[in-house]
Structure 1
Amino acid sequence: MIGYITLGTNDFDGAVAFYDKLLEQVGAKRVMETDSFVAWGPDFNVTSLSIIKPYDKQPATVGNGVMVALNVDSPAKVDAVYKKALELGGSDEGKPGDRGGGFYAAYFRDLDGNKLNVFHFPQG
């Protein structure tokens, strides 16, 4: 149902470099791009994550309580994505660990302060 999620940026080139390297950790690639918008995913027919320069030319701001969650296939992948985010200049919002009921997750912020979560939750 969700086509794509956008996060605003005030440093477009920096954000593109951050997400190119971060999202390759989960097998995503650029699926659409313009001079002010880039989207990553396996293809544009499933939900993708994108960054954008705000259309109104005002500074991008972070939404309080807004977060993007990336679903991965193992706790080891959670650890790897979290580590990569911090290596790329992201900041810690919650180290990897079991949050209860087998929900293994880590939290971080990107270069613009947008909050992301990477998680693994085994089903079945």
Structure 2
Amino acid sequence: MIGYVTIGVSDMGKAKQFYGDLLGELGGKVLLDMERIAFIGESMAKPMLAVCVPFNGEPNHPGNGNMVAIPAGSKEAVDTFYHKAIELGATCDGEPGQRIPDMFYGAYVRDPDGNKLAFFEFS
């Protein structure tokens, strides 16, 4: 249903490194790099995350209420992705924990440009 989600960044090199390192364990890698925009994922046939410098040349701005949610595969993996993101320069926006009893476990970070990410597991 979703082909890709695009988030604005201020430094393409830094963003590609951050997301390549963070999503590598899920098979994520830079699949297409067109200087201003790069697509990261497992394959062009699966949902991807695109990082880009805004087309209009204006500074990027993380949206209020916008978030990219990444299925981690387990509660333990949520913890691992959260800590890896922090290690790579993200900031905490909600430590790992049970959010909805017996249903949703998640953690939240902001990437180096302030874009919000969630790692989650429905149980």
Work out the CA distance in 2 between the residues paired with 1:10 and 1:31.
20
User: Does the alignment pair 1:88 with 2:84?
Assistant: no
What residue number does 1:61 align with? 61
TM-score normalised by structure 2 residue count: 0.94
1:79-118 to 2 correspondence within 5 Å?
79-100=79-100, 101-118=102-119
Work out the CA distance in 1 between the residues paired with 2:82 and 2:38.
21
Work out the CA distance in 2 between the residues paired with 1:31 and 1:4.
12
Contact 1:82 1:118 in 2 (8 A): yes
Q: Where does structure 1 differ by over 3 angstroms across 4 or more consecutive aligned residues?
A: none
Deviation at 1:26, TM superposition (A): 2.3
- Equivalenced residue count is 122
> Alignment partner of 1:99: what SS?
strand
Deviation at 1:25, TM superposition (A): 2.9
Query: Gapped runs of 5+ residues in structure 1?
Result: none
What residue number does 2:120 align with? 119
Once the two structures are superposed, residues 63-84 of structure 1 have per-residue CA deviations (whole angstroms, 9 ceiling, x without a partner) of 0000000012111111111001
Deviation at 1:23, TM superposition (A): 0.8
Deviation at 1:5, TM superposition (A): 0.3
Query: Gapped runs of 5+ residues in structure 2?
Result: none
Q: Percent identity?
A: 41
